[in-house]
Structure 1
Amino acid sequence: MEVKISLAPSLTCIQPDFASVVIVGGGVMGMSTAWHLAQRGVRGIVVVESHSVGGGSSAKPMGGVRANFSDPMNVILGQRSLEAFASFNEDFGVNIQLSRVGYLFLARNEDEAADLEESTRIQNELGVDSFLVGPERVAELNPFIDSSKVVVGAYSPEDGYACPAAVVDGYCRAAMELGVSVMDHTEVQGIETKAGRIDAVMTNRGVIRTEKVICAAGAWSAAIGEMAGHPLPVDPVRRMIGLTAQRPRAHPTVPFTLDLSTTFYMHNYYNGLLLGISHEEDVGFNREWSYCWLEEFNAAARAIAPELVTPDLEAGWAGFYENTPDRNAIIGASDIVPGFYYITGFSGHGFLQGPAAGEFMADIVLGTESFLAAHAYSAERFEMDSINTIEKYII
C-alpha cells in the first residue's frame, strides 16, 4: 500500500507572517488535526512539513486499522477511527483501499490466552465486534499458521488495513479547500516564546508570528519539544517490513495476523504478502532497509508459520516507530509552555488512530468537550516517578 501522494508537486505557497495555529508535521496527525480544526471554522492555519507531505512515518506503516486493543482508551481511538475510515471515500472522495479482512491475534500459552480473553471482554463492553476462536478456526482464517501451536486466537472481523498515503492525501486536499496553508520543504528551525508563551515559529523561509503551535512531528518530535521548552519523551526506532513476490491466486486472503509470543505479523499485499517482526533496534534515525530482521523472522516463522520461513521477498521498506516510555501516544496541551500542544508518540499505532486523534487534538485546542478526558494522553504522566504502562502488547 505504498501509494504516492497525488497532490501537486509542490504545495508551498508564500509563507504567511501570521498564523492562528502552526502545525509542525504534514503526516496523518498533522493533516487530520488541520482538517478537524478548519472544519470547525478555525482560519489562519499553517502546516509546515520539512520534507514532502506524508513522506515521514506516515509513508511507511503497515497500514493496519483496528479497535482490537487491551486498553479502553486505545480501543476508543481505534474504534472511532475505524468509523472514519469506513466513510472516508464518501466524505473525502478518496479511495483509501480499506480491506476489512479482520485482525487475528494468536496466543500460544495460557498466560497470553488469559490476556486475550480479558482484552476481548474490554472490547466487547465498548461495542467492538471481537471474539475468541479456537485452533481449528485459526487454521480456517489463516492457513499459513500452524494451528497446533495455538492455544486460542482473538479475531475482530471489522478490522483490517488501508492505504496511509491516500488518507493523508484526503485530509490534505480537504484542509486546503478550507483555507489551510500547507507548506512542504519548510523546516522549523526555532520556536520563540514571549513571557513564557508561544510567540513565533522560525523556518528556513522566515518567521511566522503565532500564539499556538501543535507538534505533530512524529519521530522528530523531541527536537520540536526542545525548541518550545517542553520535553517530549519520543524516541525514533526503525521498523522494517518485507513484501513477497506477487503471485496471482497463489495466496489466500488472510486477516492481519500477529503472534504475541514472537511479534511476527503478516497480511496480504495485493496478490502477495506483507511480512515483518518487531525486531530489536537501537534508538536513532537510521531508515535504511536491510535484511537484518530476517533471522529473527525466520525463527518465529519456524514456530508458527513454517511455510513462510525464508520468504521470497522482492521489496520492502523501513520506517520509524515514535516510541514513548509506555508505548502510548501523548496528546495534549503543555502544562509548561502555554500555547504549545502535542500529538505524537503513537509507538506504531499512529496511522490507525489518526482520524480520532486529530479530532481529539482539535477538541483540546478549542477547549470543547470530547469523547475522552482532556488529560487522557497528557505528557504529564511522564513527570511522575513511575510510568503506568497501559498497553501490554505493542506490535
Structure 2
Amino acid sequence: MAERADALIIGGGVIGASIAYHLTLRGLKPHVFERDLLGSGNTGRSAGGIRAQFTTETNIKLSLYSIAFYERFKEILGADAEFHQVGYLFLAVSPEQLEQFKARVAFQRRFGVQVSLLTPDEVAAQWPFLRTDDVYGATHSAKDGFAGPYEVTIAFANAAKQRGAVFHEQAEVQQIVAEHGVARGLQTSIGEFSSSVVVAAAGPAIPALVKPLGIEVPVVPYRRHLFMTETFPEIPDPIPFIIDSGTGLYFRKETGGIMLGMVDKSDPPTFSMNVDDAYLEKLVEAALMRAPILEKANILNGWAGLYDTTPDHHAIVGSVDEVKGLYLAVGFSGHGFMHSPAIGAALSELIVDGAAKCVNIDPLSLNRFAAGAVVEETNVI
C-alpha cells in the first residue's frame, strides 16, 4: 500500500525546500525526496548571488520579491540567511556594452530596481584594486548581494518540518506514476507514495524523469566552476559581487578570501562535476587582467556544479498539459537560489488556488516554447 501525502516534491535543494515551506503555509503537508542529502546538490555548489539586474520583466519581478524576502528572512524563518547586500557591479568593456547597459538601467528602473550607471572614474575611485583603463562604464545596485545557499535551504526545510512536511534523504525517485493523464504518485527507492500533486524540482535530472510521460523539457546541464583563495586582506571587505562582461569573470569576498568563477561558453553540455585544471588557467588569466593585485592570492580549493539551462535562460515553472497534477520547477539557468522565495510562493499559489498572485509565472510555462512566446534573458552569468 502506497503512503498517501498532500503533495510529493522531487528534489531537496533550495527550490524543493522553498516549495515545501510555502505549501505548508497553505495547510499542506508535503513529502520531499532527495537522492542525497538536503542542499548537497547544485544548490550547495552555487555562488549564492542575489540580484535584480536582469533584462526581462519576469526575472526582475522574481528578484524583487525574493530580495524583499531575504531582507526579512530572519524575521520570517527565525534563521540567518547570511544575506550580505554588498551590491552587484557589472563592468562594460566596449562602447556597445555601455549602450546595452544604459538600456538595461532604463528598463530595470521601470520596475523599481535601484540601479546606477557609473563612469570609469567612479569605478576606479570606489574600487581602486580594479583595472579600469579598458572600462567604459558600469552598473551598480546596492540592493543586490549574496547569501548562504546551504543555510537558506536548511532554514526552509526546518520551517517546513515544523509545519508537518516530511523530508526523505537518500531516497531516489525512480518513476513518476500517472494514470490516464493524471498524476498518482511516485515510485522511489524507499517505497511507493501516492498524491494528486507531484512537483518535479530536481534540476537537470528532471527531463529524463518526465520523458516516459511524453513530456519533453528543454533543459541542458552546463558545468560551472568556482574557486576560493586563502584569506586575502589586500582586497578589504566589503566589495560588490563584480562581473567583467568582457571575459565573463566574476568574483566576490567570502569568509575573508575571494570566490572566483567564469563563464566558459566553449564548455559543452555535461553532467560531470569534475574540476577541470585547464579552466583554472583561463580563470587566473582573466582575474589578473581585471584585478592585478590577485597575483598575491593563493588558490585554496575549487569545485564545480551544474546549471540546468533552458534555451531562453528562464526557468520552466508551472503545470503541464500532459499530466494533470504534475508541476515543473526546473531550468533556472543559474538563478534558482536567488529566486527560490518567489518560486516557492508563486508555485504554492498555483497549486492551491489555481493561479499565482505574488508574481506572474505564466511566462515561465513549458508551453511557451511550442507557442513561440520566448523572451530571452541576456544578462546571464
Q: Shorter-chain TM-score category?
A: over 0.9
Deviation at 1:146, TM superposition (A): 1.0
Q: Does 1:208 align with 2:198?
A: no
Q: Could you say which residue in structure 2 is the equivalent of 1:127?
A: 112
Q: Does 1:329 align with 2:321?
A: no
Q: Does 1:21 align with 2:7?
A: yes
Deviation at 1:311, TM superposition (A): 5.0
Residue identity over aligned pairs, in percent, reads 32
Distance (whole Å) between structure 1 residues aligned to residue 5 and residue 98 of structure 2 = 51
Distance (whole Å) between structure 2 residues aligned to residue 324 and residue 247 of structure 1 = 36
The normalised TM-score by structure 2 is 0.95
Give 3-state SS (helix, strand or coil) of 2:263's partner. coil
Q: Does 1:236 align with 2:236?
A: no
With 289-298 and 79-88 compared, the bigger mean Cα shift is at 289-298
Unaligned segments of structure 1, at least 5 residues? 1-14
Give 3-state SS (helix, strand or coil) of 1:239's partner. strand
Give 3-state SS (helix, strand or coil) of 1:149's partner. coil
Map 1:270-285 to 2 at 5 A. 270-279=255-264, 280-285=266-271
Q: Does 1:34 align with 2:17?
A: no
1:380 partner letter: N
Give 3-state SS (helix, strand or coil) of 2:3's partner. coil
Distance (whole Å) between structure 1 residues aligned to residue 280 and residue 170 of structure 2 = 34
Deviation at 1:52, TM superposition (A): 0.4
CA 1:16–1:130 in structure 2 vs 1: closer, same or farther (change >3 Å)? farther
Q: Does 1:113 align with 2:98?
A: yes
Give 3-state SS (helix, strand or coil) of 2:90's partner. strand
Deviation at 1:247, TM superposition (A): 3.4
The normalised TM-score by structure 1 is 0.91
Distance (whole Å) between structure 2 residues aligned to residue 99 and residue 192 of structure 1 = 42
1:394 partner letter: V
| Cα deviations by residue, 1:170-205 (Å, 9 ceiling, x for unpaired) | 100000011001111111111121111111210011
Give 3-state SS (helix, strand or coil) of 1:145's partner. coil
Deviation at 1:306, TM superposition (A): 3.0
Deviation at 1:249, TM superposition (A): 6.2
Map 1:249-260 to 2 at 5 A. 251-260=236-245
Give 3-state SS (helix, strand or coil) of 2:4's partner. coil
In the comparison of the two structures, how many residue pairs are matched? Answer: 379
CA RMSD of aligned residues (A): 1.8
Distance (whole Å) between structure 2 residues aligned to residue 78 and residue 286 of structure 1 = 29
2:294 partner letter: L
1:23 partner letter: I
With 53-62 and 308-317 compared, the bigger mean Cα shift is at 308-317
Q: Could you say which residue in structure 1 is the equivalent of 2:292?
A: 306
Q: Could you say which residue in structure 2 is the equivalent of 1:195?
A: 180
Distance (whole Å) between structure 2 residues aligned to residue 149 and residue 236 of structure 1 = 33
Q: Could you say which residue in structure 2 is the equivalent of 1:375?
A: 362
Distance (whole Å) between structure 2 residues aligned to residue 40 and residue 393 of structure 1 = 34
CA 1:184–1:236 in structure 2 vs 1: closer, same or farther (change >3 Å)? same
